[in-house]
Structures are given as C-alpha cells and as structure tokens.
A and B are shown apart, each in its own frame.
Chain A
C-alpha cells in the first residue's frame, strides 16, 4: 500500500493517459463505426463490400497485433506517428468495427414499413437515416454499446505494448522498480474497475432516458 502512495503522482498520470485514450478512442470509434454501419446497409454494393472488408480485417486481427503492426510496421513505409496518437488510432480502428456491428443490429430492428412511410412523406435517404433510423437504432443498442465501451477501457492496456505510459504500463514499471508485482498491479486492477463502474452508471442513466423516449 505504501508503494502505491509513494508513486501516487505517476499512477495519476497513468490513469489520465488511460482516460485520454478512452475518450479519444470512443469519440473516434462512434463516428467511424456509425459511418461504417451506414455503409453496411447502403443500397450501393461496392460501398457495402468496402465496409464488410474493413470489418473482416479489423475485427478479426487481435488488437496487440494491430498495435505492433501500426507502430513498427508503418515506419517501413515511411509513415511515423508519435506513440500516443498511434495507440489512439489503433483503438479507434479496432473498436469502430465493433460499434458498427452493434449499431447494425439496431438498424435492422427498424421496421421496413417506417422506412416506406418516411420516403412517402418526402424524406430523402439521408434525411430518413438521420431523423428516423439512427435515433431508433441508437436507442435500441444502448446496452450492447455499453459493453463495447467497457471493452475499450480494458483494451487501452494494449497501448502499454508500444510504450505509452498509461495505467498498465505505469503499474508494470512501478512493479519492476519496487519488486512488488502484487500490490501495484492490484492497485491498477482497482483503478480499472472504478473507471468501468463510472462508465456503467453513465450508460445506465442513458438507458433510462431512452426508455422514456420510446
């Protein structure tokens, strides 16, 4: 316990980096995932195929592999990103695939009759998407989307693989320095649980709100 207290500052920075990755990763993944989901249900075949190919690659390659390929592979092509943005980009690309597939199940839940009604009322395809389909789809998938969010929190630890000083990396570093793996990593575990609990509360309140709107 004293080990944790003497490294409180470092620990706080680790948590800050983890939260930063979660925030950036989640905003990016929601935007990219929504675009991908719309592409998946597009009437144009090429667009559907492109989105399906993206999902095939990014959902099926383990995230540590993607991380290492992005950080140590891309420089071979002459592209070098700093480490923190690299980690954030990989997190966005990986979780966008999951956001997309989660949201798609919501899109499929919207009845065809509603689409027909919207078109006959004069909404174009994008207007229909924006005002009718997406709001209903998002409301239907709040809970499974919360699972993706918690997945993201835990997957930020993979950034440790490429030297980003987030919570897992920091804990590991302190554990090696202090030769006390159990106490330090135990502290990190508690911190992850707290972050997830806070997010779970947020998701639950969102769920109650959409329950009223339905």
Chain B
C-alpha cells in the first residue's frame, strides 16, 4: 500500500502540476476580474499577502477519507469537508474558490510538507498532539468528533469499551486511537495498518473484530459500504482521564502568527454566518445523527 501511496503521490503531483498550469492561466484572468471582487488586502510580508500575490492557495489534503477528502472515482474531483473548507479559504483570500492547488499528504508527511513550505496549510483530518505542536502550529479546530468502534453488522460481542479486551482491533499508524485503545482496554490486540482502507478491508475479511477511530471517519467509511457495518459508540478516555476526541484542525508552518490569526478569524466568521453549517450538512451531516454546533476555537 505504501508503494501504491507513493506512486499516487507522484501521480497527483503530476496532476497537480497540470492543474497548477491551468490555474495559473485562470489566475491571470482572476486577477483582472479580482479588481472588482471584494478581497481584503493584507500587509506585505504576511503569508496571506504571499498567497494573494501567487494567486492561489496550496493546501495539503488526504484523498482517501470519505466525507473529509476523497477523490471521486467517477469525476476525478476531490470532495469532502476538508476540501470545502480549503476552497472557502481560497475564495476568502483570492476571490475565487478555484484559485487552489491540492497536494496529497498522508499522516506521516504532513509536518515535513509544512516545514519545507511545500504547502501553505494542511487540512487533512489533522488533530494536534503535544509532539505535533512542537513541529507545526494549529488553528481551529473546525470539527470535534468522539471516538468509536466499527464492527461487522452481525457482531454482538462488542458493545462497550471493555469488550475490546481480547479482540483484534485495527487502528491506523499514528492515530490517537493507537494510544487510546491500550489505555482503555489493555488486553485488546492491536493490528496497525498504515491506511484506513486496509483496516476496512481487514474488518470485511474478519481478520479483525473492530476498527477504532473517530466516529466521523468511521461514518464516512460506512457511507462507502452501506449495510455491511455498524458503529458502536465506545467512548474512550484519554491520558488525562477525559473523554477522548479528535479535534480536527488546520495545520500551518510554525511561527506564522499572522496566518494563524487569520485562519482562526476565518473559522469564526464561517461558524457565525452559516457557511460552516452548509459545509458540514453537505458532507458529514449526511451520515452523522443529530444537529451539531461548531466547535469552540481552542488553538
């Protein structure tokens, strides 16, 4: 899978390059049209001014997370909450949601892409933790989701957290659940794969009994395979003894205070004017039960 991933990165870089050329072309047009579009100007030297001068926003996203960032196999276009949020920021900064370049990232290379300024920001189901916060900065969160476990529809043995003991539980490498599961169910046998897709495959083949991660991710996966799985709300506790949740946030290079403040103010704006709700309802809202209010800004 990793090798496929790598080739996917190259492929998407190639696509991104072609895309960038196209966008550059249209960005020239957008600049002319942009004179009339109401775009706030930022002081020179800030990341926002740089993005505006370049004419496009470069965002690191995942392409294999349904409802967050997923390449639609039919249209080839990226879809999901992360993608919509990225487009919203591009529109806010450059006047058009099309002035954007997506770069595929995975859980292992998000920090490096930010540190080397290969991307302006990362919106890729990216919750902060103390070690990540040493390497990059975060703004947000734009979404908070509790942790759950997905099992096969006919499974009757996993109903609560303690039922995870003695079961084979799949988690993805580097996810919060990799830490939380042993903490809450010390006898659970962890099977660690690098992608969610592999965990799903292992669950469908009954190689594992359950897949544990944030509920929003699980519901996204379930929407891809309707009728095969069900969600058990195993509420795990974190190291502090509180209910664990993943706070999906926007990653940005370390020390870019102006960009951080801009992103937080942008999130506050879309939380207030209903745009966030529109993004949520058209993606995660289609599978998440109940009404959800925007999260508080924590970072």
A-side residues, CB < 8 A to B, are: 62, 64, 68, 72, 75-76, 80, 83, 160-163, 165, 169, 172-173, 175-179, 181
Contact = CB atoms under 8 A, between A and B. Distances in A.
B135 A75 contact: no
A161 B201 CA distance: 14
B107 interface: yes
B8 interface: no
Contacts of B111: 179
Contacts of B1: 64, 68, 161-162
Contacts of B173: 169, 172-173, 176
Given A173-B173, A176-B108, A176-B174, A72 B135 contact: no
B192 A179 contact: no
B77 interface: no
B178 to A, nearest CB: 8
Contact of A165 (B2, B3, B192, B207): B192
Given A176-B108, A181-B112, A72 B134 contact: no
B2 A181 contact: no
A161 B2 contact: yes
Contacts of B198: 72, 162-163
Contacts, number: 56
17 contacts: A62-B3, A64-B1, A64-B4, A68-B1, A72-B202, A75-B207, A80-B206, A160-B2, A161-B194, A163-B192, A163-B198, A172-B173, A172-B194, A176-B107, A177-B131, A179-B111, A181-B112
Given A72-B202, A76-B205, 4 more contacts: A64-B4, A72-B205, A172-B108, A176-B173
B78 interface: no
B108 A161 contact: no
A2 to B, nearest CB: 13
B262 interface: no
A119 B131 CA distance: 71
A178 B205 CA distance: 32
A83 B112 CA distance: 30
A175 B191 contact: no
Given A64-B3, A179-B131, A179-B132, A163 B205 contact: no
A6 B97 CA distance: 45
A163 B197 CA distance: 13
Interface in B116-132: 131-132
Contacts of B271: none
Nearest to B112: A181
A175 B108 contact: yes
B169 to A, nearest CB: 12
A6 to B, nearest CB: 12
Contact of B174 (A62, A76, A177): A177
B19 interface: no
B193 interface: yes
A72 B201 contact: yes
A173 B174 contact: yes
A181 B112 CA distance: 8
Contacts of A165: 192
A194 to B, nearest CB: 23
B281 to A, nearest CB: 32
Contact of B207 (A80, A161, A172, A175): A80
Interface in B1-17: 1-4
A62 B201 CA distance: 21
A75 B205 contact: yes
A128 to B, nearest CB: 44
Contact of A178 (B112, B131, B201): B131
B135 A179 contact: yes
Contacts of B3: 62, 64, 161
B131 A181 contact: no
Contacts of A173: 173-174, 192
Nearest to B192: A163
